[in-house]
Amino acid sequence: SYELTQPPSVSVSPGQTARITCSGDALTIQYTYWYQQRPGQAPMLVIYKDSERPSEIPERFSGSSSGTTVTLTISGVQAEDEAKYYCQSAEVFGGGTTLTVL
């Protein structure tokens, strides 16, 4: 199987833009999905098919793809966005990125 690589942590101040990357060779041919997991809660889908957003997810969440790297962008970060974020493609999850809102 293959791996998806995420940075362990990202920190931003409220109102700034957070970018979380996910890298993997398979991402050139497979879609990537993003999940948010707050402490003590189950994961929740925030982006599907690289850049599509479920209707219930705020517009500040967006996704993009370039080559072997996909990026989750959170514009105007709010305190409630502090969570761990995981990328997923097929049966593989990335290791997760902890977003800290300073």
Contacts of 3 (CB under 8 A, 6+ apart): 24, 92
Nearest of 101, 102, 100, 80 to residue 9 by alpha carbon: 100
Return the number of the residue (1 or 13) whose C-beta is nearest another protein: 1
CB of 79 to another protein, least distance (A): 23
Query: Mapping DSSP to helix (H, G, I), strand (E, B) and coil, where does residue 19 land?
Result: strand
Which residues in the 45-84 window bind another protein by CB under 8 A?
45, 48
Please report, as ranges, the residues that interact with another protein according to CB under 8 A.
1, 31, 33, 35, 37, 41-45, 48, 86, 88, 90-96
